[in-house]
Amino acid sequence: FQHVKEGMRLAIKEGTGKNARLEEIEIAGKTGTAQNPQGENHVWFVGFAPFQNLEIGITIFVEHGGDGSQAAAPLAGKIIAEYYRLKEETKRG
């Protein structure tokens, strides 16, 4: 399992998932594509954060999204960032 986690970390750091990357939180994830004979490919992103101490898991699926690195990964990064923003806001009361 550690090898899978490390591969997911590297996919964000150097691979197709880099559009999900956040400065302050280390995300691990993987993009994917499902061919669609009726039109544009369906795409997905699955991941978790933070890498060292899992707190949130996420799956994004975009029908007819075309490219997971362009459609699903950035959306995942935005949702994870918003999760942590709301968490901090809640702490402050």
Q: What proportion of the chain, given as a percentage, has pLDDT over 90?
A: 91
pTM of the model: 0.90
User: How much is the mean pLDDT over the chain?
Assistant: 95
Q: Running DSSP on this structure, what letter comes out for residue 41?
A: P
Amino acid 19: pLDDT: 95
Amino acid 68: pLDDT: 83
Three-class DSSP category at 22:
coil
Check whether 67 has a pLDDT greater than 90: no
Encode pLDDT of 39-60 as tens digits. Answer: 999 999 999 999 999 999 999 9
